[in-house]
């Protein structure tokens, strides 16, 4: 969807730079996230009813693991992305590095959230998931269209998109966290041994 709006408002060159950044930053992180997500989902589905406290533990543990794995690449790309793209792909692609700098935190947020992104579905909170997806769709459109109509350039639109998507991933993670908290609070308290009715 971002590519469609970029193509409409800023042309094919901006779309090509964005596509390169999405491939360089998005694909490797998605592959790493997928392998961790498979482990998390199998555990989360089993623990949803049997042990919500344990589910919270692995949710937070998985999040911390992703934070540690992604922090250094995020910092490196935020600082050096234009130079990295210029060295690897050539001077004409330096602008893609500027895009990468603006989107580094967004890809980091996506990377952290990716393994636990199915938590709401596992908790059977599809309505909350649907509302978030609908909001993300609307925000994606506004984040790129609004800067254009206000007279800002493509870098501003990319930065706007990156910032808003970072917030959306943070919201999604928060929804998952409080969804698990709700399960923990609803967990029945075990009756002490020898207690009488």
* pLDDT tens string 96-151: 999 999 999 999 999 999 999 999 988 889 899 999 999 999 999 999 999 999 99
- Could you tell me the pTM of the whole model? 0.87
Are the CB atoms for 52 and 187 separated by under 8 Å?
yes
pLDDT of amino acid 29: 82
* Phi–psi pair at 153, nearest 5 degrees: -85, -175
Q: How far, in Å, CA of 157 to CA of 135, rounded?
A: 18
Compute CA 12 distance to the chain's CA centroid, rounded to the nearest angstrom: 25
Strand, coil or helix: 11: coil
**Is residue 156 predicted with pLDDT exceeding 90?**
yes
pLDDT of residue 134: 94
């Amino acid at each position: 969807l971002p590519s469609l709006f970029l193509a409409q408002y800023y042309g094919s060159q901006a779309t090509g730079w964005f596509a390169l950044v999405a491939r360089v930053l998005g694909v490797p992180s998605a592959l790493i996230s997928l392998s961790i997500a498979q482990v998390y989902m199998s555990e989360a589905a089993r623990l949803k009813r049997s042990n919500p406290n344990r589910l919270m533990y692995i949710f937070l543990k998985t999040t911390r693991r992703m934070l540690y794995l992604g922090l250094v690449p995020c910092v490196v790309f935020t600082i050096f992305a234009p130079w990295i793209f210029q060295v690897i792909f050539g001077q004409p692609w330096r602008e893609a590095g500027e895009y990468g700098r603006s989107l580094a935190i967004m890809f980091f947020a996506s990377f952290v959230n990716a393994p636990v992104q199915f938590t709401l579905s596992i908790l059977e909170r599809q309505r909350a998931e649907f509302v978030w997806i609908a909001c993300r769709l609307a925000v994606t459109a506004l984040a790129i269209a609004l800067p254009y109509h206000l007279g800002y350039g493509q870098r501003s639109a990319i930065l706007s998109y990156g910032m808003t998507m970072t917030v959306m991933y943070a919201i999604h993670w928060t929804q998952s966290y409080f969804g698990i908290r709700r399960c923990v609070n609803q967990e029945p308290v075990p009756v002490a041994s020898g207690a009488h009715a």
